[in-house]
Amino acid sequence: MKRKITLKQIARELEVSISTVSKALKDSDEISKDTKQKIQAFAKLYNYRPNNIALSLKNRRTKNIGVVIPDIVHHFFTTVFRGIEKYANERGYNVIVCVSDESYDKEVVNMELLANGSIDGFIMSVSAETQQKNDFHHLREVMDQGFPLVLFDRVIDEIECDKVVMNDEEIAYEATCKFLEEGKKKVALVTTESYFNVSEKRAEGYRRALVEQGADYDPKLTLVVPFRGGEESCIDAFFEEEEFDAVLCVNEVFAVQVMGIAQEKGYRVPEDISVIGFTNGLLSRYSSPTLTTIAQHGERMGEVAAEMLIEKLENEIGFEEEETYRTEIIEATLIERNSTGKKK
Amino acid sequence: MKRKITLKQIARELEVSISTVSKALKDSDEISKDTKQKIQAFAKLYNYRPNNIALSLKNRRTKNIGVVIPDIVHHFFTTVFRGIEKYANERGYNVIVCVSDESYDKEVVNMELLANGSIDGFIMSVSAETQQKNDFHHLREVMDQGFPLVLFDRVIDEIECDKVVMNDEEIAYEATCKFLEEGKKKVALVTTESYFNVSEKRAEGYRRALVEQGADYDPKLTLVVPFRGGEESCIDAFFEEEEFDAVLCVNEVFAVQVMGIAQEKGYRVPEDISVIGFTNGLLSRYSSPTLTTIAQHGERMGEVAAEMLIEKLENEIGFEEEETYRTEIIEATLIERNSTGKKK
DNA sequence: TTGTACGCGTTATCAA
DNA sequence: TTGATAACGCGTACAA
């Protein structure tokens, strides 16, 4: 077992000083050609690489990005993560992930840990519990300490920082319009509890479309599925109690469940009931019928988030300069498959 | 903006030496009660936390684990990752992820980078390209440098290290037997190219079951789907050319595609054709019919891998002790849903 | 009971 | 052209 070689060891071996070695390896012209060659050859032979930790300590930057997300077994988040990781790697950054598991406490603890020197900045999507509690002191804390923060998807209006969001409201509007164009009359919405602000925005777009297009907005046609469990029976009951001919779902799992239950009950999709879901994942592609879906372009979101963060990291602002924050909007797109009909 | 406070600053502020502060904060009894109280109160007020980087440098351990996987937008890998992250976090470790994207070069570069001080050990699943090239010098390299390595799922026989694998061969055997018990006669296999050694093992289990149970093993009933693209037409052609009444698929995407094409062609699942797939993901749960599947228990794999790694990290072996390696086997389980029939 | 000195690996500044 | 020194932040053996 050969431990990694250090400057000091090279110096001792070659009987020169540490600083000479350091300079030689940077090809400084303070050092004579001969010594440089000798040192460089030796370093190459022993495959010398500077120790990242020592560099981090010295430079006060780790070249690590902290990513805090609610869940990792989740198509959208992994997609975003892939975008982050790709862009960050290209720029020489590594990514440390922490999963909050939708828990406020974990989120806080993890971020504190990372903030003790492990990373240079954060990219995050806040946990459900955090949104519920409406307590964001941990975000303020890290920003106070000088860590750039980029929020994506589940962002917080009260926090001033860079953000990357989707045009949730508009795309929900578009999707709803699509149903109406198809000739559908009673469009339902299946959503999650509203402290997820993305759900709220999607619901707004849905409502606005109905009202503006002169269709009926009936609050009873909105089904709020509880956070964990019991979706199945919940949706089943919804079918029994209400009547509708189109359903917009805030995720693809709901959408596939809606299609399944509809078909069990003898409705045809899309002839009797059209369905659109958010999240263009595997389910959408392989369900029957295949699902018309809203692609969130998570990878792009990740790239943009990473780009914004790294820009902040590499352009540390001067004293008197005003800090400015941007909000980038990623345009979702509607992907038409077979769970919706043609325009009339 | 208030930067994190350091021992030095506390010392200056309180007009004591740095080491006094350090000791006081560890509640050392070398320090008088009074000074301890004073220092602790001050530290608490300013929310002092030791700098991880400095600790890493001093202790020569980072408390970071490097995870190298081929893909992150992938149900199985994220599942394993979740297990790793959970266990690691509980033990005070953070996780740095690198995605090789199935590329040999990326894998090599990423590992070298991490090995320059960023992490204490590796958990990885090798990329497809690496398996194809059969070049594992980068794994040997990091091990030589003293980094513990735990391989999972896609492991390498020639490399001696800790491993976590699934009982692929046996569970494929079991699944195949299940078809036979159902009364099926011609069992097909849909798999990927064989340099994925897990595919190879699954194929072996499939063959062994047919032979041992006295059914026919017909090589023509094995469909090897090419690495990227064209699955659809490939499977379609398979249906045209061969006859079978049961299909074992090495992943759930293939399985769902097989069911879809079968149903299009007028076969009933499971009456005419039974289907079982590996990977108990969303698709299996929401396909129609729901898919009988092999649960790989990825989260457990991740936990075990992390446990093995951390054990190695925390029990650095002495000089003369022999290094020993283990291979843990995670038992997959067959989850029966509606794409297979009852035992006869 | 407190403080000094050293080392972890590196780089930058200044002196020789 | 080379080397000594200090610094990044921390912990600890040893000296005072």
Provide the residue type at B127 as one letter: S
**Three-point CA angle A231, A234, A238, nearest 5°:** 135
Please report the pLDDT score of residue A318 as a whole number.
57
- β-bridge mates for residue B189, sequence order: B222, B248
**Mean pLDDT in residue range B216-230:** 88
Measure the CA–CA gap between A279 and A301, rounded to whole angstroms: 13
Q: Are residues B144 and B133 in the same domain?
A: yes
pLDDT interval class at A232 (50, 70, 90): confident
Q: Which residue is nearest to nucleotide D8 (CA to C1')?
A: A58
**Three-point CA angle A304, A310, A316, nearest 5°:** 135
Q: Are residues B199 and B288 in the same domain?
A: yes
Please report the pLDDT score of residue B317 as a whole number.
60
Q: Are residues B259 and B185 in the same domain?
A: yes
Q: Are residues A187 and A289 in the same domain?
A: yes
Task: Choose the mutation target among A3, A8, A51, A52 for the interface with B, i.e. most B CBs under 10 Å.
Answer: A52
pLDDT interval class at B321 (50, 70, 90): low
| Domain assignment present for B337 | no
CA-to-CA dists, residue B243 to B174, B218, B240, B255, B335, angstroms: 22, 11, 8, 17, 26
Question: CA B214 – C1' C10 distance (Å)?
Answer: 68
Q: What is the distance, to the nearest Å, from the Cα of residue B221 to the centroid of all Cα atoms in its chain?
A: 30
Q: Are residues A191 and A289 in the same domain?
A: yes
pLDDT interval class at B2 (50, 70, 90): confident
Chain A CB contacts of B160 under 8 Å are none
pLDDT interval class at A108 (50, 70, 90): very high
Q: Are residues B226 and B182 in the same domain?
A: yes
A51 touches strand D (CB under 7 A): no
Provide the residue type at A307 as one letter: E
Chain B CB contacts of A8 under 8 Å are none
pLDDT interval class at B320 (50, 70, 90): low
**CB-based contacts of B189: which residues, under 8 Å, 6+ apart?**
B202, B203, B206, B221, B222, B223, B247, B248, B249, B250
Measure the CA–CA gap between A92 and A87, rounded to whole angstroms: 9
On whether any CB of chain A is under 8 Å from the CB of B279, the answer is no
pLDDT over 70, % of chain A: 97
Measure the CA–CA gap between A245 and A257, rounded to whole angstroms: 15
- β-bridge mates for residue B188, sequence order: B247
Measure the CA–CA gap between A315 and A251, rounded to whole angstroms: 38
pLDDT digits (tens, 9 = 90+) for A258-275: 999 999 999 999 999 999
A233 touches strand D (CB under 7 A): no
Q: Are residues B178 and B264 in the same domain?
A: yes
Please report the pLDDT score of residue B193 as a whole number.
83
Give one DSSP letter per residue of A273-336, joined into a string. -EEEEE--SHHHHHSSSPPEEEE--HHHHHHHHHHHHHHHHHS---SSPPP---EEEEPPEEE-
pLDDT digits (tens, 9 = 90+) for B129-182: 999 999 999 999 999 999 999 999 999 999 999 999 999 999 999 999 999 999
CA-to-CA dists, residue B319 to A1, A6, B145, B210, B316, angstroms: 11, 22, 15, 50, 10
Sheet holding A246-249, edge to edge: A222-225, A187-192, A246-249, A274-278, A292-295, A333-335
Judge whether B156 and A92 are in contact, CB under 8 Å. no
Please report the pLDDT score of residue B194 as a whole number.
66
| Domain assignment present for A1 | no
| Domain assignment present for B1 | no
Tokens representing B87 are 């266990």
pLDDT at A117 over 60: yes
Q: Which nucleotides of C are covered by protein (CB under 7 A)?
A: 1-5, 7-14
Judge whether A34 and A45 are in contact, CB under 8 Å. no
- The nucleotide lying nearest B26 (C-alpha to C1') is D11
Residue that has been written with the tokens 């005070």 in this structure: B92
Q: Are residues B112 and B144 in the same domain?
A: yes
pLDDT over 90, % of chain B: 88
Chain A CB contacts of B123 under 8 Å are none
On whether any CB of chain A is under 8 Å from the CB of B85, the answer is yes
Q: Are residues A100 and A219 in the same domain?
A: no
**Mean pLDDT in residue range A205-232:** 90
Question: CA A17 – C1' D3 distance (Å)?
Answer: 6
> End-to-end alpha-carbon separation of chain A, Å?
73
**Mean pLDDT in residue range A14-26:** 95
CA distance A213 to chain B (A): 34
Nearest beta carbon to residue A99 from set B85, B118, B144: B85
Tokens representing B201 are 């093992």
pLDDT interval class at B322 (50, 70, 90): confident
Residues 110-169 of A with CB under 8 A from B: 110, 112-118, 144-146
Judge whether A297 and A332 are in contact, CB under 8 Å. yes
Provide the 3-class DSSP secondary structure of residue A58: helix
Judge whether A167 and A156 are in contact, CB under 8 Å. no
Question: CA A54 – C1' C11 distance (Å)?
Answer: 10
From the list B81, B92, B78, the residue with the least C-alpha distance to B310 is B92
Nearest beta carbon to residue B57 from set A4, A57, A98: A57
pLDDT at B227 over 70: yes
CA-to-CA dists, residue A180 to A177, A209, A342, B152, B287, angstroms: 5, 9, 11, 50, 28
| Domain assignment present for A336 | no
Chain A CB contacts of B97 under 8 Å are 85, 95-97
Chain A CB contacts of B260 under 8 Å are 286, 288
Cβ of A283 within 8 Å of Cβ of B288? The answer is no
Cβ of B99 within 8 Å of Cβ of A114? The answer is no
Measure the CA–CA gap between A335 and B10, rounded to whole angstroms: 59
Highest mean pLDDT out of A132-146, A305-319, B307-321: A132-146
| Domain assignment present for A2 | no
Tokens representing A70 are 């609610």
pLDDT digits (tens, 9 = 90+) for A200-216: 999 999 999 999 998 88
pLDDT at B33 over 60: yes
Nearest beta carbon to residue B282 from set A50, A146, A282: A282
State the CATH number of the domain containing residue B116: 3.40.50.2300
Question: CA A91 – C1' C15 distance (Å)?
Answer: 38
Chain B CB contacts of A288 under 8 Å are 260, 263, 287-288
Question: CA B19 – C1' C13 distance (Å)?
Answer: 27
The phi, psi pair for A297, rounded to 5°, reads 50, 55
Nearest beta carbon to residue B4 from set A64, A145, A256: A145
Comparing A118-132, A222-236, B266-280, the range with the smallest average pLDDT is: A222-236
Cis peptide before B148, with omega less than 30 degrees from 0?
Answer: no
| Domain assignment present for A287 | yes
| Chain A residue with minimum CA distance to B60 | A53
On whether any CB of chain B is under 8 Å from the CB of A79, the answer is yes
| pTM, full prediction | 0.94
B60 touches strand C (CB under 7 A): yes
> End-to-end alpha-carbon separation of chain B, Å?
73
A8 touches strand C (CB under 7 A): yes
Please report the pLDDT score of residue A323 as a whole number.
83
Question: If DSSP states are collapsed to H, E and C, what string results for chain B?
Answer: CCCCCCHHHHHHHHCCCHHHHHHHHCCCCCCCHHHHHHHHHHHHHCCCCCCHHHHHHHHCCCCEEEEEECCCCCHHHHHHHHHHHHHHHHCCCEEEEEECCCCHHHHHHHHHHHHCCCCCEEEECCCHHHHHHCCCHHHHHHHHCCCCEEEECCCCCCCCCEEEEECHHHHHHHHHHHHHHCCCCCEEEEEECCCCHHHHHHHHHHHHHHHHCCCCCCHHHEEEECCCCCHHHHHHHHHHHCCCCEEEECCHHHHHHHHHHHHHCCCCCCCCCEEEEECCCHHHHHCCCCCEEEECCHHHHHHHHHHHHHHHHHCCCCCCCCCCCCEEEECCEEECCCCCCCCC
- The nucleotide lying nearest A34 (C-alpha to C1') is D1
Provide the residue type at A142 as one letter: V
Q: Which residue is nearest to nucleotide D3 (CA to C1')?
A: A17
Residue that has been written with the tokens 């990357």 in this structure: A164
On whether any CB of chain A is under 8 Å from the CB of B253, the answer is yes
Domain-ending residue, one of A274, A296, A318: A296
Q: What is the mean pLDDT of chain A?
A: 94
CA-to-CA dists, residue B66 to A190, A251, B297, B326, angstroms: 40, 32, 21, 20
CA distance A292 to chain B (A): 16
Cis peptide before B289, with omega less than 30 degrees from 0?
Answer: yes
Judge whether B206 and B176 are in contact, CB under 8 Å. yes
Question: CA A11 – C1' D5 distance (Å)?
Answer: 16
Cβ of B145 within 8 Å of Cβ of A2? The answer is yes
Q: What is the mean pLDDT of chain B?
A: 94
Measure the CA–CA gap between A114 and B95, rounded to whole angstroms: 11
CA distance B214 to chain A (A): 35
Residues 166-205 of B with CB under 8 A from A: none
Q: Are residues A40 and A154 in the same domain?
A: no
Instruction: For residue A187, count other CB atoms closer than 10 A to its CB.
Output: 28
pLDDT at A333 over 70: yes
From the list B172, B186, B173, B166, the residue with the least C-alpha distance to B125 is B166
Domain count, chain B: 3
pLDDT interval class at A321 (50, 70, 90): low
On whether any CB of chain B is under 8 Å from the CB of A94, the answer is yes
| Domain assignment present for A211 | yes
Chain B CB contacts of A280 under 8 Å are none
Question: CA A307 – C1' D1 distance (Å)?
Answer: 43
Residue that has been written with the tokens 């070249």 in this structure: A63
Give one DSSP letter per residue of A144-171, joined into a string. HTT--EEEESS--TTS-SEEEEE-HHHH
Q: Which residue is nearest to nucleotide C1 (CA to C1')?
A: B31
| Domain assignment present for A342 | no
Q: Are residues B265 and B160 in the same domain?
A: no
**Mean pLDDT in residue range A327-343:** 95
Q: Are residues B146 and B232 in the same domain?
A: no
A6 touches strand C (CB under 7 A): yes
Provide the 3-class DSSP secondary structure of residue A64: strand
Maximum separation of any 2 CA atoms in chain B, in Å: 87
Nearest beta carbon to residue A286 from set B52, B99, B287: B287
Measure the CA–CA gap between B314 and B310, rounded to whole angstroms: 6
Tokens representing B336 are 């029966």
pLDDT at B319 over 80: no
Sheet holding A327-330, edge to edge: A327-330, A162-166, A149-152, A121-124, A64-69, A94-99, B94-99, B64-69, B121-124, B149-152, B162-166, B327-330
Which structural domain range is residue A275 located in? 168-296
Question: CA A56 – C1' C11 distance (Å)?
Answer: 11
Provide the residue type at A288 as one letter: S
